[in-house]
């Protein structure tokens, strides 16, 4: 199975390269019904999951035998929902890690260190900035963040001008959450020219229409547990290649967690 998946990925890369050279990769229109399906899924999951964490600090890892892997500092990854909709794909992946000796405030400093995001998350960003909103309080900090997301492979480069509504929520001394929801994602017409115009709203290549990120951090034992969720909406996967979108989501969550953990010592 692994052999066939690797061969399939090579085929995708080759076909993608030929398509780009010929300039025939089609744009696709975002179906508003798919946005509603995404929003409905996200609202249902978020309401239930956040309530459990807010009241008791419960994470999904608590119900799995794989929680023992956290003792060794291993990132444990878990698919939450992978679904092909009528005209879109929904991907929800999560990962958790235990970091010995770390504190919640270190994670908070990493997350709010926007000027250094390009260093903290190498290879993922072309620019990063944020402004604190006037309704911020010590327990409920509120930022609007602008990120230039850069995605590149052997066969395609894509850049997005994005705007996020980000809330940092302190539920208790030992429990903290980040909720970062995309307000706008605009694919640039020239991915290597960050000043280029975006595609018209609702009409682009559909590689990323929505992406929301949730972090849950709790102090436990000799350190902290850090859990990340990435939920995204994109164009439909070609028949037989839904696993590729799943892998992309899995790898993104894994890197996001590892980059954050690596940055903790800078933010003592």
Q: Where in the chain are the domains?
A: 27-267
Quick one: CA dihedral 238, 242, 244, 249, positive or negative?
positive
Residue 138: CA count within 13 A, CB half-sphere: 3
| Predicted local distance difference test score (pLDDT) of residue 13 | 40
| Predicted local distance difference test score (pLDDT) of residue 242 | 52
| Predicted local distance difference test score (pLDDT) of residue 11 | 34
Is CATH 2.60.120.10 the right assignment for the domain spanning 27-267?
Answer: no
139 CB-near residues (< 8 Å, 6+ apart)? 169, 170
H or E, element range at 6 = helix 2-22
3-state secondary structure of 163: strand
Q: Identify each DSSP E strand in 59-174 by its residue range.
A: 76-84, 89-100, 125-132, 140-152, 157-172
Q: Which residues of the chain have pLDDT under 70?
A: 1-24, 65-69, 153-155, 238-246, 268
Asked if 129 and 108 count as a contact pair (C-beta separation under 8 A), the reply is no
Residue whose entry in the numeric block shows the structure tokens 């940092």 = 168
- Phi then psi for residue 161, to 5 deg, are -95, 115
3-state secondary structure of 199: coil
CA 192 vs CA 8, 197, 268: distances in Å: 27, 12, 35
Asked if 205 and 156 count as a contact pair (C-beta separation under 8 A), the reply is no
- Phi then psi for residue 225, to 5 deg, are -100, 130
3-state secondary structure of 1: coil
Cα–Cα dist 208/162, whole Å: 11
CB atoms inside a 10 Å sphere around CB 183:
11
| Predicted local distance difference test score (pLDDT) of residue 22 | 26
With 0-12 / 13-18 / 19 or more C-beta atoms within 10 angstroms meaning exposed / middle / buried, residue 96 is buried
Residue 244: CA count within 13 A, CB half-sphere: 19
């Amino acid at each position: 199975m692994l052999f066939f998946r690797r061969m399939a990925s090579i085929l995708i890369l080759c076909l993608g390269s030929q398509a780009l050279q010929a300039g025939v990769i089609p744009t696709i229109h975002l179906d508003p019904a798919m946005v509603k399906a995404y929003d409905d899924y996200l609202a249902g999951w978020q309401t239930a999951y956040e309530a459990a964490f807010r009241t008791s600090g419960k994470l999904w890892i608590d119900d799995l035998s794989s929680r023992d892997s956290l003792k060794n500092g291993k990132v444990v990854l878990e698919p939450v929902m992978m679904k092909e909709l009528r005209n879109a794909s929904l991907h929800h992946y999560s990962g958790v890690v235990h970091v010995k000796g770390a504190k919640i405030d270190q994670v908070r400093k990493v997350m709010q260190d926007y000027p250094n995001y390009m260093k903290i998350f190498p290879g993922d960003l072309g620019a990063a900035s944020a402004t604190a909103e006037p309704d911020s309080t010590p327990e409920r900090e509120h930022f609007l963040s602008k990120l230039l997301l850069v995605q590149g492979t052997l066969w395609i480069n894509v850049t997005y001008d994005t705007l996020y509504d980000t809330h940092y929520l302190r539920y208790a001394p030992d429990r903290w959450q980040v909720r970062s929801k995309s307000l706008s994602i605009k694919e640039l017409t020239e991915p290597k020219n960050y000043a280029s115009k975006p595609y018209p709203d609702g009409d682009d290549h559909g590689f990323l229409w929505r992406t929301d990120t949730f972090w849950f951090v709790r102090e436990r034992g000799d350190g902290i547990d850090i859990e990340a969720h990435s939920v995204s909406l994109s164009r439909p996967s070609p028949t037989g290649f839904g696993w590729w979108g799943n892998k992309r989501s899995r790898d993104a969550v894994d890197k996001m967690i590892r980059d954050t953990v690596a940055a903790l010592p800078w933010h003592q």
